Amino acid sequence: MGEEWNYVCLRVLVVCVFFLSVCVDSSGVKHYTNKWLVHVPLGEVVAREVARSNDMQYQGPDYDNDGFHVMAKDDLPLKSFDHNEDITNRLNSHSLVTTAIQEAVKARSYRGAVYPRHVVPKSTTTSSKTSNSVRRSHMSYFKKEKMISNYINAFNDLRWPDMWYFQDYRTSENQPVVDMNIVPVFFELKITGQGVNITVPDDGIQWSHPEILPSFKQELSWNYILNNKNITPSTDDNGDIKAHGTRCAGEIIMQANNKICGVGAAYGANIGGIKFLDETSTDAREAKVLKYALEYVCIYSNSWGPADTGTIMEHLSDLIKMSFTKGIHQGRDGKGVIYVFAAGNGKADGDNCACDGFVNSIYTIVIASCDDSGHVTHYSERCASIIATAYSGAGFEKNVLTTDVNGQCTDKHTGTSAAAPLVSGIIALALSANPELTWRDVQYLLVWTSQVVPLSDNFGWNRNKAGFYYSVDFGFGLVNAYKLVKEAQTWQNVPEMSSCGIRMPKVRGFPISRSRAVRITVNSTGCEGLSGEINYIEFVQLVLSMTYPKRGDIQIAIRSPLGTECRVLDSRPKDFNTRGLNRWTFTILAFWGESPKGNFIIDVFDTTGKSSNTGVILEMTLSIHGTKDIPPIYKNGPRPYDEFKLAKPGDKPRFLHLGSMTKAKNVDVLRNDDQRQQIIRDAAHNYDGVHMSDYKESNKQNTQKVNSGMTQKTKKKRLKTDLLKMELDDLLNREVSILPMNPLVHDVAINPVVDNDLLSSEEDPAVV
């Protein structure tokens, strides 16, 4: 009976895996429709002729996407798992067509935290009642069990004491600030976000909530599912009202001193919502969302993205690139709108935000999460395009307080979904202080003012040769609202951006395997003497095409001409795609402020796959974005930092948290089971009461039986045990060095062909 049951379970598992692989492919596509969006600049009459000549039905102009027209192929099925390349290629070859795109329905996910197993969270909705308890410091930096916030009486909102990430528990002004330092902006600078318009693209917002209604603006809102003004959230399959958008909006806009819930990060701003997220979406819909009400919107706060499964790499479509470009060049009277995106929550599934097209755009501000102790969380993805971090939570105990549906409040909001809106609100404060800031000024301000001190207990920080600390877990640090807004008040705009592209035709055909890495040395002049000359780096982008039998085994690292190292792509164990990479763009912020002149060293390697893995490099391009002239903020020397002591390998951290440890060079990777068990055993004795017996218990197969009689206290212990195991696995599987040690390399020096005047459509750089 047992064997038969195991066989049945195995068959069910195989069917489920097959179903998932069919429903969502490795590019994030759930299915294709029988419609095409076709860009015909000469207007409707010509577009009708294009449709007729291709035996298609003209359905009219797409008024929200300039110059695009909708054409259908009625003899094709409404849904198909295959892209019809023949029709797409035929349309694209037409002399009067700029581009043609088959409509694809894509899987989308919220970026709220994923709870590990054993965790059955309490109801996420709580009433608006006062918490009279004395709040413990969210940063054990001060090593005190109980402290009272200096801001405890700043507002009369009933749940204000629970907003630990806004509180200041210091007993002396000489101690470093470890909260998000937002209250002084309200009281000292008298700035609350006045005059700034923010919209939240999501599943709608319950705009009638008393914390949202006073600041709600209909002109910032639209329903792209039903094409009307009603952005009230729908219900899910269980009949519950979808709350994600309402929670994200509340973080930004909760009204101060109304005795209801809490205080928003920019409670004086205006808020709207765009309802478009319904588990799936299309390129056309998202392109409309990202430029909706462009004449009004200042900030688009996005806590959504491709599914964080560790299996998807989704390119930005031409439609979305065009929307970003329009928003940057036309929004805010040419100064550019601000696109804030959550980094993603797939870390526990081995995902890496370098595999997210939205994250890799230079036009987006990508925000990671840390927990209430300033440590990496089990979900927040890492990559080299993260610019900064905000507090969120680890899925238990302290999370983010915000509005909930039905007029309620919740303190269970978490994930990078919760981090991004906090930063959107803080950016609104900066724009209110200085409306002349451009989209790049905002990025510079985050780089210049984000703080390392609250996150210094984590491993993995590097200081680049321009003096900036950077971490692929946290970007440039924790956002500090007061420092950012104070700097914004007197900020001088940065010089015009230049772009310099280097193509490498000689790399085609370079072999890569499990035993042989590819190391490419690229000499860069920074386009010296050309119109695209760069002396100060902002972004470096690597575009790579290659074959490989398992895409998830590909790893990439890069070293700047000045010697700064950065990991670009980690392995993704669940990504079994067999096609390799197709012109995938990786964005790197770690070299910010450095000179681009000299040799970049790019390593492509595999340390986790099968020994039989082999592939070939097909194409590689390096694009550098930055400035020729010195940014005014650099003229006074390197960026100053508050004093802090970085954790180093061998140190005993103030807290046991291993999620971001980068082991020192020449330390062997621990693979032996006895060594793993010993580390877990030693760690468990220091991890808030979690013991080895809990770890063993957590590995029992019959999870349901274990859960059945579990108290809430035991569940919390079990959660911590799970997180510990997850983070230990992460530690043990990370590479010893950012660049591979002693690799078998195919070392090639390349004399690049340089393209000046590289256009800012950075995801698909034009090269000669």
DSSP letters for 724-738: HHHHHHHHHHS-SSS
Contact 476, 394 (CB under 8 A): no
DSSP reduced 3-state for 639: coil
Give backbone dihedrals phi and psi of 10, rounded to 5 degrees, phi first.
-65, -40
* Positions of E strands within 490-562: 498-503, 511-513, 517-524, 536-546, 555-559
Indicate if the pLDDT at residue 199 is higher than 80: yes
Identify the burial level of 530 via C-beta atoms within 10 angstroms of its C-beta, where 0-12 means exposed, 13-18 middle and 19 or more buried: middle
Indicate if the pLDDT at residue 387 is higher than 60: yes
Q: What is the pLDDT of residues 305-364, one digit of tens each?
A: 999 999 999 999 889 999 999 999 999 999 999 999 999 999 999 999 999 999 999 999
Cα(199)–Cα(176) distance, rounded to whole angstroms? 33
Orientation angle between helical segments 416-433 and 439-449, nearest 10 degrees: 110
Name the CATH architecture for the domain at 498-640+738-755: Sandwich (2.60)
pLDDT band of residue 64 (cuts 50, 70, 90) is confident
Contact 118, 149 (CB under 8 A): no
Estimate the share of the chain in helix, then strand, then coil, as percent rounded to the nearest 5: 25, 25, 50
pLDDT band of residue 638 (cuts 50, 70, 90) is very high
Alpha-carbon torsion (414, 417, 423, 424), positive or negative: negative
CA 547 from centroid of its chain's CA atoms: 26
The stretch 605-609 carries a mean pLDDT of 93
Please state which of the ranges 10-14, 263-267, 388-392 shows the lowest mean pLDDT. Answer: 10-14
The Cα-based distances of 442 to 23, 258, 365, 541, 634 in angstroms read: 39, 31, 9, 20, 15
Q: Looking at domain 29-110, does it have CATH number 3.30.70?
A: yes
Q: How many CB atoms lie within 10 A of CB 672?
A: 9
pLDDT at position 133 is 30
Cα(264)–Cα(255) distance, rounded to whole angstroms? 6
CA atoms within 13 A on the CB side of 681: 6
The Cα-based distances of 526 to 29, 591, 595 in angstroms read: 38, 13, 8
pLDDT band of residue 389 (cuts 50, 70, 90) is very high
Structure tokens given for 95: 């002399």
- Cα separation of the two ends of the chain: 66
Name the CATH architecture for the domain at 160-489: 3-Layer(aba) Sandwich (3.40)
The stretch 437-466 carries a mean pLDDT of 97
Identify the burial level of 193 via C-beta atoms within 10 angstroms of its C-beta, where 0-12 means exposed, 13-18 middle and 19 or more buried: buried
Q: What are the counts of helices (DSSP H) followed by strands (DSSP E) for the chain?
A: 14, 28
Give backbone dihedrals phi and psi of 332, rounded to 5 degrees, phi first.
50, 50
CA atoms within 13 A on the CB side of 701: 0
Domain range list for the chain: 29-110, 160-489, 498-640+738-755, 673-733
Q: Which residues are catalytic?
A: 202, 244, 417
